[in-house]
Amino acid sequence: MLPSWFLFLENGPTWRLLAILEEWDKASGQHTDNTKQYCMVLFIKFGLEIAVFYACNPKKYKYFLSIFGLSIVLADFLLACLMGAALVLGAEKSLASPCFLLASASTAYGALPLPIMLLGFVDYCLDDILMCNHSVFWKTLRNAILTLLVWVVAVNYSLHSSYVGPVELEPIAGKVLVCEVTESTIISAFVLGLFIVSLLTLVPLWSRIPQWVREIDRLLEAQEQQKNTGRKLCFTSIWNPNPVTKTGLDEDLKISSMRPPLWFSMMLGFLLFWMPYLLMSVACMIFGFGLPAYLGFNLLWFECSNSLLVGLVFWAKSNTKGPYSNLPENVCLWQVCWSLSRDIQRSLVRVPEVNPSQEKKNISLNV
């Protein structure tokens, strides 16, 4: 139903996305106003954003992206209410016309992805370096001010962008009143690029992925059992739970070499949760279901990019700090993925110091 509300018109090498506000059928003389449908879609998006927010977004706001996720929900609610007011009061009496709201929202939302990704990544990288001595209150206040500043710049940019207003077109079947809106090329490039990189990453080691996924499931089961008992989770070598002896050293090294490298474990942990979203987004691109930026920029994409940033920082700092835990809660189980790969490094480091009488040490992790 949604694609019928938009038109794609060729404009040189690019395509314009036009939202159909009203349409008249020449044969029957019927007039259709789509403002109600746009209002309904915006309120549905707001409801879905609330569900995603409570499922994925941590409620600790000492990080910039945590507060910005909340601001997206509030911005979607404001946009839906303004569209509802335009529907009830009419374009003449409301604060803004439906066309102005859709065009301005698509421009503002389209300008947000790159700045927030850069700011979020810098915040994660420097938090334990520059902000470690600051209280949670000051971190939250700083992030709230920075979030407000980003929105002010985006809204100001949309208000000063070129706005042509609604335009009448006369196709063969009748007449339509359209409004030009924009897609977010950054979101499209991000999703498509991430999907391609994921395929290139998974294909070379495809045959071993089911085995590694089963090991992740075993770790999750162990974690759940430890949560039920309220004790610290202890990970021993899953692949070789017996103490290392001289006779079993060759076998231990052989089995340990089957473990994935840390970067692959992190990518696998990311894709186990976000691959359905990437597949759905890429399928929409392939079949030409373009979405304006005010719909394409949503909490699903936001949390997907947030997970990627957290995973990158976790991977970069875990080599020196172990299972780096000074990061926000995330839907991806980074510490479990770290445990899946860690025994490679432990085995390689342990080889020169093997003592037949020495017991194998456990790795204790707080998960």
Domain housing 29: 2-182
Give the model's pLDDT for residue 243.
Answer: 42
Residue 140's pLDDT is 87
38 exposed, middle or buried (CB, 10 Å; 0-12, 13-18, 19+)?
A: buried
In a domain, 282, yes or no: no
CA–CA distances in Å: residue 289 to residues 6, 111, 140, 282, 292? 9, 21, 38, 10, 10
Whether 209 and 269 share a structural domain: yes
Residues 281, 184: Cα–Cα separation, whole Å: 13
330 and 360 belong to one structural domain = yes
Please compute Rg for the chain using Cα positions: 26
- The domain boundary residue, chosen from 182, 214, 243: 182
User: How far, in Å, CA of 59 to CA of 321, rounded?
Assistant: 25
Residue 124 corresponds to which tokens in the numbers above?
Answer: 């994660």
Predicted confidence at residue 290, as pLDDT, reads 77
CA distance 294 to 154: 13
Please give the pLDDT value at position 352: 39
- Find out whether 18 and 9 touch, Cβ atoms under 8 Å: yes
16 and 165 within one domain = yes
Domain presence at residue 255: yes
Count of structural domains within the chain: 2
Residue 235 belongs to some domain of the structure: yes
Query: Do 85 and 112 belong to one domain?
Result: yes
Confidence (pLDDT) at 221: 79
Cα(271)–Cα(232) distance, integer angstroms:
27
Same domain, 246 and 125: no
* Residue 209 and residue 172 in one domain: no
| Residue at a domain's end among 182, 213, 246 | 182
The answer to whether residue 90 is domain-embedded is: yes
Tell me whether residue 299 is in a domain. Answer: no
Residues 11 and 156 occupy one common structural domain: yes
Question: What is the pLDDT, as a whole number, of residue 360?
Answer: 39
109 and 234: one domain? no
Q: Round to whole Å and give the CA distance between 140 and 57.
A: 15
Do residue 22 and residue 143 come from a single domain? Answer: yes
- Asked if residue 352 and residue 229 are part of one domain, the reply reads yes
286, part of any domain:
no
For the entire predicted model, the pTM comes to 0.79
256 and 346 co-located in one domain: yes
Q: Is residue 281 part of a domain?
A: no
Each residue's pLDDT expressed in tens, for the chain with a length of 367 residues? 333 555 544 343 335 688 888 887 776 777 778 888 899 999 999 999 999 998 887 667 788 998 999 999 999 999 999 999 888 887 677 778 888 999 999 999 999 999 999 999 998 888 777 666 667 788 889 899 999 999 999 999 998 887 777 887 776 667 888 888 888 889 999 999 999 998 888 887 788 888 888 888 887 777 777 766 654 444 433 333 344 443 443 444 344 457 778 888 888 889 988 999 999 999 988 887 778 899 999 999 999 999 999 888 888 887 666 666 667 777 788 888 887 776 544 433 333 344 444 443 333 333 3
Euclidean distance between CA atoms 106 and 100, whole angstroms: 10
Residues 135 and 260 in one domain: no
Domain end: 182, 213, 241, which one? 182
Is the CB of residue 102 less than 8 Å from the CB of residue 292?
yes
Q: Is 280 part of a structural domain of the chain?
A: no
CA contacts within 13 A on the Cβ side of 215:
25
